[in-house]
């Protein structure tokens, strides 16, 4: 029971689709209660100590990637391209890595940009083709390969040299690297089209299917201590956040969600791809 209690501390940020757009909520995994953090926002990512959060703002006056205090306020619009998404923090909280399709040919490209500078004061730096980046406090970066990096699960550091192959086949979505950088959780469809959560070591060994349920399971996020994996699921006919141990034991329902993680933002359908490019995040 002590291990379960340790794994359930902190705050889990999640997106909830509310009919035409997403709102961003914080869930307490101990009580199961949710509270609204911000309207018209999704794709949350806490920094290493949980004091700051990055997210995608869908709001007209602040459209782009934002960093802010996790207690509210202190918002900085760090990018303003409609195509920017999925921010993730460097271990020292100084840099944001994100995905964008801002080029004319709509390539999937990863960029670095300062975490605490307004977009007018800085220019993102292109680092690699790829999708859905996840940066751990250990410094390891995992992302979905795209274009020259080829489909599959890739692992690197902030130098992006070398880029290692974890899983070579495609159809690997929403990867999340553990705090120590040694394990990666992700979602994928099985042969019947159902979504479940998987876990693999960073060297590509030890692939384990963590969930096997007819409902959709997805968007894994590691607990800050690395002892649990949170994910969203539609089991029991409603969306909720669950946690499971990295070996597939100890499934626990943590919190009811305020809405679905899977929706298309009405006013920006060209850049809204549903839950395949959404995220949840677990802070200390």
pLDDT digits (tens, 9 = 90+) for 28-53: 999 999 999 999 999 999 999 999 99
Return the percentage of the chain with pLDDT > 70, whole number: 98
167 CB-near residues (< 8 Å, 6+ apart): 152, 153, 200, 204, 207
Whether the predicted pLDDT of 256 surpasses 90: yes
Among candidate residues 277, 110, 55, the one with its CA nearest the CA of residue 187: 277
CATH of domain 2-283: 2.120.10.30
| Interval 90-108 mean pLDDT | 94
Among candidate residues 188, 191, 215, the one with its CA nearest the CA of residue 276: 188
- pTM of the full structure: 0.95
Q: What is the DSSP letter of 271?
A: G
User: From the CB of residue 173, how many other CB atoms can be counted at a distance below 10 Å?
Assistant: 20
- Cα–Cα dist 202/175, whole Å: 11
């Amino acid at each position: 029971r002590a291990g379960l209690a340790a794994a359930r501390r902190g705050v889990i940020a999640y997106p909830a689709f509310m009919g035409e757009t997403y709102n961003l909520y914080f869930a307490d995994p101990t009580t199961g209660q949710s509270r609204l953090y911000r309207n018209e926002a999704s794709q949350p990512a806490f920094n290493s100590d949980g004091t700051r959060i990055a997210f995608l703002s869908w709001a007209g006056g602040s459209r782009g990637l934002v960093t802010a205090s996790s207690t509210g306020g202190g918002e900085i619009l760090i990018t303003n391209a409609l195509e920017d998404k999925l921010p993730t923090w460097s271990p020292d909280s100084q840099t944001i890595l994100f995905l964008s399709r801002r080029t004319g040919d709509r390539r999937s490209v990863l960029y670095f940009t300062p975490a605490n500078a307004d977009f007018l004061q800085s220019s993102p730096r292109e680092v690699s083709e790829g999708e859905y980046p996840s940066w751990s406090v250990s410094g390891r970066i995992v992302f979905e390969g795209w274009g020259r990096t080829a489909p599959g699960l890739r692992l690197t550091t902030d130098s992006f040299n070398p880029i290692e192959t974890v899983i070579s086949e495609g159809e690997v979505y929403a990867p999340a690297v553990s705090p120590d950088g040694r394990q990666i959780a992700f979602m994928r469809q099985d042969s019947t089209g159902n979504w479940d959560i998987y876990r693999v070591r960073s060297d590509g060994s030890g692939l384990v299917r963590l969930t096997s349920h007819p409902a959709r399971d997805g968007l894994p996020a590691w607990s800050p201590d690395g002892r649990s994996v949170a994910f969203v699921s539609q089991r029991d006919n409603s969306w909720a956040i669950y946690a499971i141990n990295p070996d597939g034991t100890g499934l626990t329902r943590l919190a009811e969600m305020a809405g679905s993680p899977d929706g298309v933002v009405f006013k920006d359908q060209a850049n809204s791809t549903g839950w395949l490019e959404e995220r949840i995040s677990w802070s200390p």
